[in-house]
């Protein structure tokens, strides 16, 4: 798996614990799980739109935004990247 995702998840974990002023991650988590879930939905729609009408670079940017917001949602629901990898591995065996 991409090491960068693990690093980003660690940064998100640190921001959740330390709550530094001015952090976008902190702003998200303070608005609650419902807000973050909505952001994930919005970002998913932007990924779909970018895949259909934008160039590759814009699509990659939107995917990155979606992954970030999804990692924040995973953190506040106590789901790790390893949890997701285990689930994917189970599905690959079917």
Torsion on CA atoms 69, 12, 77, 37, rounded to nearest 10 = -20
Domain limits at 42?
3-92
Domain CATH code at residue 24? 1.10.287.1080
Q: How far is CA 68 from the centre of its chain?
A: 3
pLDDT > 70: what percent of the chain? 99
Q: Could you give the number of structural domains in the chain?
A: 1
User: How do residues 21-52 score in pLDDT, each as one tens digit?
Assistant: 999 999 999 999 999 999 999 999 999 999 99
Q: Mean pLDDT throughout 53-78? A: 98
pTM for this predicted structure: 0.94
Torsion on CA atoms 27, 83, 87, 8, rounded to nearest 10 = 50
In the numeric block, which tokens belong to residue 59?
């699509």
In the numeric block, which tokens belong to residue 87?
């689930």
Question: What three-state secondary structure class fits 77?
Answer: coil
**pLDDT of 1 higher than 70:** no
């Amino acid at each position: 798996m991409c090491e960068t995702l693990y690093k980003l998840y660690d940064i998100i974990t640190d921001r959740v614990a330390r709550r530094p002023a001015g952090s976008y991650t902190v702003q998200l988590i303070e608005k609650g799980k419902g807000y973050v879930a909505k952001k994930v939905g919005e970002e998913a729609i932007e990924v779909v739109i970018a895949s259909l009408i934008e160039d590759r670079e814009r699509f990659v940017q939107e995917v990155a935004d979606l992954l970030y917001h999804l990692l924040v949602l995973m953190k506040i629901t106590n789901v790790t990247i390893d949890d997701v990898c285990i689930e994917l591995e189970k599905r690959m065996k079917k």
